[in-house]
Structure 1
């Protein structure tokens, strides 16, 4: 077997070759670009080394760096080259074993990666396909849009704090429909005093808003008349506020479209509709979980997904010292986030999970803190999701409670 270690970069990749005994077969690191020509050149280089050293199989190991390894992996697999990946943390921890030096560069790392593959410290890469690829991209796009919205809202708060410090009391929910329409037209005290109460209502009528917001027009004007906000530079700040308000509304519309499309993709996943029967698991949470898990058939057990999400339990103990057990936090943070959101929502909306949460936090032996209990419930939800997706079964609250392992005779109250 010819083992290739590859260090991934944004534009250039570096590869070195060893055999199964750890002997280096390449004279130096082979550099190739992140293009079709570069991929073809490294394939020719690998085949030449394999022929010269009578190797029948080629395995390329790489350290997954951001998103730069996606195209290379897909191209190599399509061209018959086996690809595995090593944990970046393992590369970091073993870098001094090579030459007792803290040096880390693009020519040293490939050999470290190749040696890790030789020793069996690798995993199989996974690139989502078909509907799972669409869901992964849509989910990441939704997260990016949400981050942009939060960023714009924070900057909007900054401008309002300077020129209209009383805006929270005056407008209430700043990103609400009534407040947004007002911010686009007359965001600051001088503007509000100029148009008066009727002008404020006309802005809302022009936007065809309905509700009880019209009754706040007089109160908003009173706050504007008593404002202590700065007037110098208010003209430029006004333009900024208008732009941020329009951007937030635009992002809201796009988010709505993306979430609708993501929900449609979820329906194509077998047994996904059965998961919506779990109280508290809505389409947004479900789409986030499924997009991060991908094809469920690649997992043999729910514990594999638990480890992937960073919810696996770890403890540091030595001799008489017993360290605190906590989750590893190593894995897909978005999957961990959505599972935690699912746990919180289930505790609020599902009677069985609320009672389970109460049991974990009040049991006589080893009661858990609220956060610990939510983590346990998130792992329980993960096992339920895995079983439903794998077997296509229906959610059964009574069965879920009966499966709980109790460390004492204190029982979980039955669900009526």
Structure 2
């Protein structure tokens, strides 16, 4: 046990040394020629403040600028004026990668050939008390803290991603959004079935299979199935799938009718409930079609893939 503990401690020390070494290297990259800019990001208006390599504030007047091309250019002019005033040939710009508000500005600045770095919001929070022993929220103060954190090497580089990677990132973000919506809709559909036709899952373990989906679109309630025959059910399935009349299909149709006859599902406001269900199924199918299209574009070997 002691040997394992010693090994673990040794590994932790090596990792800590490597982290400290990397931080020192980042500090060494910042010279007396660097203007260090900290930016506090918001939805509409950002705030920037500057220090030198020692963390000394270079101007008592911060700059506020809008999240627009005019605002970005205002920031650029402000930085150039300060560089000229303090005779600094280089600039390093730090910001927190929180939310999505930072993304366009970071890419715009990078496109201008400027060095953009990112700081961990947790690091910023821990360092708020360093200057005035107060953790209160203030955009200019936060911008100054970010600049100070950068000057001490607590940052990592932001690099403009390749065109292919950006397309992949966008597709993955799009996919995540629609998967979340798909799960939400599936839960609503399952809830609806649990109330209106709780025996349905005894027939179809997977309610998204072809026979199940055909049934849910055509005859979703026990009342819709009442008085139907097995051949009628099979005939209805044939409109949506092949081999509907196989031995399995005939057996499933019989089971479905049997469960419908003994159903204890709620029949209150059934007309309105069915209208709601039609909307749920329609939206679910629409989302599944979109996800299938996204998956096709994510496949680098697909004929329609954007990376082919």
* Displacement after TM superposition at 1:57 (Å): 1.2
* Displacement after TM superposition at 1:168 (Å): 1.1
Structure 2 CA distance for aligned equivalents of residues 91 and 257 of structure 1: 41
- The structure 2 residue matched to 1:24, chosen from 57, 74, 87, is 57
| Residue matched to 2:272 | 236
Alignment of 1:12-411 (within 5 A): 12-210=45-243, 212-264=248-300
Q: Which runs of 5+ in 2 are unaligned?
A: 1-33, 304-308
Structure 1 CA distance for aligned equivalents of residues 219 and 151 of structure 2: 67
Q: Residue deviations 1:241-266, cap 9 Å, x none?
A: 22222222222222222212111279
TM-score (norm 2): 0.81
* Displacement after TM superposition at 1:48 (Å): 1.2
Greater C-alpha radius of gyration? 2
How many pairs are equivalent?
271
TM-score (norm 1): 0.61
- The alpha-carbon distance between structure 1 residues 201 and 105, as it changes in their structure 2 partners (threshold 3 A), is farther
- The alpha-carbon distance between structure 1 residues 156 and 9, as it changes in their structure 2 partners (threshold 3 A), is same
Structure 2 CA distance for aligned equivalents of residues 238 and 195 of structure 1: 19
Instruction: Say which SS state the counterpart of residue 157 (structure 2) adopts.
Output: coil
Q: Is the 8 A contact 2:234 2:249 kept in 1?
A: no
Q: Which runs of 5+ in 1 are unaligned?
A: 268-416
Which protein, 1 or 2, shows the higher relative CO under an 8 Å CA cutoff with sep ≥ 6?
2
Structure 1 CA distance for aligned equivalents of residues 227 and 72 of structure 2: 66
Structure 1 CA distance for aligned equivalents of residues 263 and 159 of structure 2: 57
- The alpha-carbon distance between structure 1 residues 79 and 98, as it changes in their structure 2 partners (threshold 3 A), is same
- Please tell me the root mean square deviation across aligned C-alpha atoms, in Å: 2.4
Q: Is the 8 A contact 1:9 1:65 kept in 2?
A: no
- The alpha-carbon distance between structure 1 residues 18 and 227, as it changes in their structure 2 partners (threshold 3 A), is same
Structure 1 CA distance for aligned equivalents of residues 50 and 235 of structure 2: 73
Q: Is the 8 A contact 2:185 2:284 kept in 1?
A: yes
Q: Is the 8 A contact 1:61 1:113 kept in 2?
A: yes
Instruction: Say which SS state the counterpart of residue 9 (structure 1) adopts.
Output: coil
Q: Is the 8 A contact 2:110 2:160 kept in 1?
A: no
